[in-house]
Amino acid sequence: MSKTSLRRAAALTTAAAVLPLSLALGASTASASVGTSIAATAKANVGKNACSVNSAGGNYFYSSCTGAVGGTPENWCADFAMWVWKQNGVDVRGLSPWAGDFGRYNGGLHKTPQVGDAVLYDYSGGYAAHVAIVTAVGNGTITTIGGNEGGTSGNWAATSRVKEVTHSSAIGYSWGGQRLSGYVSPIGGTDSGSPAAPAPTPPAPNHVYDNVRFANGNWQGAALADAGADVSQVVTAALPNGDLHVVTLSNGKVYDNVRFANGNWQGAALADGAGTISSIAAVGMPNGDMHLETVVNGNVYDNVRFANGSWQGAALADAAGTITQAGVAAMPNGDLHLVTLANGVVYDNVRFASGAWQGAAVADAGGKVASISVAGMPNGDMHLATVGERNVYDNVRFANGNWQGAALADAGGAVGQAAITAMPNGDLHLVTLSNGNVYDNVRFASGAWQGAAVADAGGKVNAIAATGMPNGDMHLNTLAN
């Protein structure tokens, strides 16, 4: 199965657990005959690997093999699902080798499986851990066929296959450590040469909105900051001069926009055109530099935008090959913490102010972490927020290098994504996304929590980012369509 959050198949309080917003939306469904044809195509490829000749006689499943880095195939479950649909005339516009795209396709997720549907696991805020094709529906069960499954630990990329499994069809069921999030129906499709059904309008693209919580606690209100199409992730970084960088990921490429201290925007400019990036992170440093971390095929690259505006260029920082998400935190002494998530385990690496790297060390070995966010505090501590089973936990790495241990910070049970940021006065803001709404909680410098309060009740937010500014304001950036 996929080990990435956004790429290929894809990375979080308020009330009792609720279904994702997209489960409430309507969607066009495929005919039974189209579903049967989709299932037959999936079955015809069981046992094949990322670089096999497919059942249609062609090479691979989209970029399942050609997307390799250093000879290692990419995580390719979304490649397979999209290929199967395409072979049956399904309209795959809006999809890509990123699993998260399936969650925004054809009205989003629904609760009742049908043969030919895609099934998503650990989908939240635009991220998904895995996607497969539903090939049979039983009494409370589904049979699925997915790419990039059944691999051998330690050599997954070389041994993963197209595999058939049967498990519960219930929303929330945990399969392989991943939570079943819902089902997505294909648009159109053909069966034995019959014409395709009319395709609904593709889902609206994501746009970026910027909201400000002023130092006095008042909110400005969300304003459009980037109307570019197909943004899949947004991260923010504050610089000591009061500039704000809003960095976006779109179709595997990274764009950097600057909101100057006077409130004017520079406009988004291409920062990394690799086209294969699945996740990003960014942070402003005390010296005015900004570090941009990019995840490509499970590896992390570190790029620096110097205070003078020039870029260093991406350099390999972690070649683990299994990383799904990275977070970065700037420390007052100029050190940088690169925190990574791989297979539910969190690792912490330090890039010292000298430029030397310490090496990744385990920070949370629980194995159930779905998403991370980190923030460096003015006193030299670092907070690590982890989302697991849709609750948020707060861990502290003290300035002396010791860890406090993860403590429950939000037990709402419906958190899809969390973002944390430090304020100049030592407060910490924990911003959470739940069912399309955004909540803001404050951990005061004393260690006491204020409690989560609604920050954006629009109900359409699917990703968040937050950063504290030198003047005590906090910027909340949201993705919504």
What confidence tens digit (pLDDT) does each residue in 150-187 have? 766 555 556 688 999 999 999 999 988 889 999 999 98
**Which pLDDT score is estimated for 74?**
62
Measured from the Cβ of residue 205, the count of other Cβ atoms closer than 10 Å reads 15
C-alpha angle 231/275/460, rounded to 5°? 15
Query: What values do phi and psi take at 121, rounded to 5?
Result: -120, 140
Asked if residue 420 lies in contact with residue 329, where contact means CB atoms within 8 angstroms, the answer is no
**Domain residue limits, the chain:** 21-184, 207-480
Q: What is the pTM of this model?
A: 0.66
Picking from 28-32, 77-81, 187-191, 243-247, which range would have the lowest pLDDT averaged per residue? Answer: 28-32
* Mean pLDDT of the 324-329 span: 93
Look up residue 415 and give its DSSP letter. Answer: -
**pLDDT higher than threshold 50 for residue 2:** no
Per-residue model confidence as pLDDT tens digits over 348-357: 999 999 999 9
* 393: confidence class by pLDDT, cuts 50, 70, 90: very high
For 42-88, how does the pLDDT look when each residue is reduced to its tens digit (9 = 90+)?
A: 999 999 988 888 898 887 888 787 654 334 456 789 999 999 999 99
Regarding beta strands 161-168 and 371-376, do their DSSP bridges make them parallel or antiparallel, or are they unpaired? unpaired
Of the candidates 33, 29, 54, the residue with the CA atom closest to the CA atom of residue 44: 54
Fold of 207-480: Neuraminidase (2.120.10)
φ/ψ of residue 37, rounded to 5: -65, -40
Between 77-87 and 32-43, two packed helices, what is the crossing angle to 10 degrees?
130
Amino acid of residue 463: A
Cα gap 191→271, rounded to integer Å: 44
Cα separation, 145 vs 124, in Å, equals 22
Query: Which CATH homologous superfamily contains domain 21-184?
Result: endopeptidase domain like (from Nostoc punctiforme) (3.90.1720.10)
First CA to last CA across the chain, in angstroms? 29
